[in-house]
A = this chain, B = another copy of it.
Amino acid sequence: MTPPMLDRQSADISTAQTANGWLARMREKRITLAHGSGGKAMRELVEQLFVTEFNNPLLAALEDQAVVPLDELQQQGTRLAFTTDSYVVNPLFFPGGSIGELAVHGTINDLAMSGARPLFLSCGMILEEGLSIDTLGEVVSRMKHAAREAGVVIVTGDTKVVERGAADKLFVNTAGIGVIRHDVAISATRARPGDVVITNGYIGDHGIAILLARNELALESSVESDTQPLHELVQEMVRVCPDIHCLRDATRGGIATVLNEFAASSNVGIHLSEAAIPVHETVRGACEILGLDPLYLANEGKLVAIVPREQADPIVEAMRTHPAGRDSAIIGEVKETPNGAVVMATAFGGTRVVDTLIGDQLPRIC
Question: Could you tell me which A residues sit within 8 Å of B by CB distance?
Answer: 32-43, 61-70, 73-76, 79-88, 90, 110-111, 113-114, 116, 120, 122-126, 129, 155-158, 160-163, 165-168, 171, 173, 175, 177, 180, 187-188, 248-249, 251-254, 257, 261, 265, 298, 356-364
Distance (whole angstroms) from the CB of A294 to the closest CB of chain B: 15
Q: List 29 A-B contacts (CB under 8 A).
A: A33-B359, A39-B358, A40-B359, A61-B188, A62-B188, A62-B265, A64-B248, A64-B249, A65-B113, A65-B116, A67-B80, A67-B180, A68-B79, A74-B75, A80-B80, A82-B175, A82-B177, A84-B123, A85-B158, A88-B162, A122-B175, A124-B124, A124-B173, A162-B168, A162-B363, A163-B363, A167-B168, A173-B173, A173-B175
Distance (whole angstroms) from the CB of A150 to the closest CB of chain B: 16
Residue from the set A38, A40, A253 with the largest chain B CB neighbour count within 10 Å: A38
| Known contacts A63-B248, A162-B364, A166-B364, then 17 further A-B pairs from the complex at CB < 8 Å, ordered by chain A residue | A33-B361, A37-B359, A39-B358, A40-B356, A42-B253, A62-B261, A64-B110, A66-B83, A68-B80, A74-B74, A84-B122, A84-B123, A86-B125, A86-B173, A124-B173, A163-B363, A166-B168
A39→B253 contact, CB < 8 A: yes
Contacts of A116 in B (CB 8 A): 65, 67
| Integer count of this chain's copies in the complex | 2
Contacts of A165 in B (CB 8 A): 165
